[in-house]
A and B are shown apart, each in its own frame.
Chain A
Amino acid sequence: MLTREQAQKITAKTLSFSTFPECDISVNSSERAFIRFALNDVTTSGFTVEQSMSISSVRDGQSGSTRVDEFDDDSLREAVKRTERLATIAPANPERVPPLEKQKYPELENYAASTAGARNQAMIPHIRAIIDGAKANNLVAAGFFERSAETAAIANKQGNFGYGRVTDAGLSATVRNAAGSSSGWASQPAVLIESIDGAAVAKTAIDKCLRWKEPRRLDPGKYTVVLEPTATGDLVQMMGFGMQARAAEEGRSFLSKQGGGTLEGEKLFPEFVTLRSDPFNKLYSALPWSGGGGFGFGGGGGGAGGGLPAERITWIENGVVKNLVYDRYWAAKAGKQPTPFPNRMVLEGGGKSLADLIASVDRGLLVTRFWYIRVVNPQTMQVTGLTRDGVFLIEQGKVTAPVMNFRFNQSPVEMLKNTLAMGTPVRVRGGEGQGMIAPAIVVKDFSFTSISDAV
């Protein structure tokens, strides 16, 4: 992977090929090692090396972009030339923002050499713990263990340069009985691969599978729910997409005010709801700038959103909508400071244990996680999806019986408004999305609309 010196050299060389006043570059190199397993056996597994550079050239507001993963001089020279040719033909972009001047990036690096260097030998004992645990209970395990390491740099003709390194790892497992009538799941995302514990993942997934036997069929409807942290994260992470000031002002968001304007500054949620982006949280590994690189948020070479120094930012503070997302263009138009895109999200908690939360519910449902979550109405943020891998009835503060899965139609915005109590936040990653740091929560009037036969 590219060192800082190599990144400096290659970006400088690429910029030297530029003949336009503006040229933005973002370069990534990464390595990943992964093992997939199913039916208590290893399936596919690999070690991959990747690199790519995004280049964008601008003159008189006309812009052209390319992506290339060949880093020899001729390839890079030709790639820059290509962007300039494209820009010559493209119409001028009236929403183009000026290139970033030299930025001061924070000292932000949470890079684990142990994670970056781990290969199959380091992952296999944890997978074996899961497979052996499943076999010992006559169950069938499937799962995925992956570790990745990435270095990234951004640079432009105005002299801005940033470099960062990130690592991450994750182990997840689904344990089912041989008849396919019960399923349990657990997952551990971590920056440090040595903090992943296959035996703990196995224990949780096996326990869920063994307990979710002959589930009861309950009517769909509104229920009080206790969402385990992954279930909370599955839904709350989607709110990041709804926080844009532009969508709010243009009437397309839950933050749009009737008749025009936004709900920024208004108290929409209970006092104890605080939602932040925190790339400095030690449970995350993040780049020192926002909107670029780092597992799922590409680009960032200095477009309307990317390249600004990473910062902690509070979106909802004590129930009040504190900040909306302003890219550099919209911020300039609105007379606001630009913000990073919601990423590395943290929903602060109330400190209660999961057992405390369950004990607080007279009748409700305990949900392990959600699946196949899709936006139904972007304006209200109503989403639909299903419960998966463990739903249980809570009666008089105790978990009493497994329950068949449900489909829900529910806005995470309304869900946060209806939140009654919160547990201690942990880092979670479900089946979809990047995950976040989230607590277990208790929510009233969660809307389940039909029953699913799925296991």
Chain B
Amino acid sequence: MAGRLLLRAAILLVIGAGAGAAHSALRPVKLRPDAPLPGPAAPEIVSTPDGVAAPADAASAEAAMGLEITVSQAAALYDQGVSFVDSRHLAEFEGGHVENAFLMAAEDFLGGGTPVALGLLDPAAPLVVYCGGGDCDASKNLVLLLQQAGFRRAHIMTDGFPAWAAAGHPVATGGPTYGEDGSR
């Protein structure tokens, strides 16, 4: 009897695995959010006199950056006034974050929800998302959701907040304040 149970279980597994394998062949998935998802992605492309297409002025440096950027690239964007999004937990945010950063977690999107900060950001503008650096996947998860929400120019500061702070860039402590004073 136990033999029949195992045989049937094996048959169910084979059916499921077969269907899954076929499905995966039909519809490949990306394994990490390297490339922006298809859609109205690119910054404006203008034609320069010498005939070479180049991204429009201020956005050029940003547009040339990949999905994942370094702390110094992030700092350059910060100086241009690009918004930062902290994807860590509130307690970590309160303990120290990039000055003027918004707080947003992938979990805020759960159940069809919309993070408060989302309404304060411009989907057409670039964005820098970070988490704790190292092994943390929070910023990648969040960028995926932001891309789905129409933010096509989100970057990930791979080394995260610790590297930002260590490099001496502007940091602040305490909870988010943009709800009250609407700064940045």
Please say whether chains A and B are actual partners in one complex. no
Residues of B participating in the A interface, judged by any CB pair closer than 8 Å: none
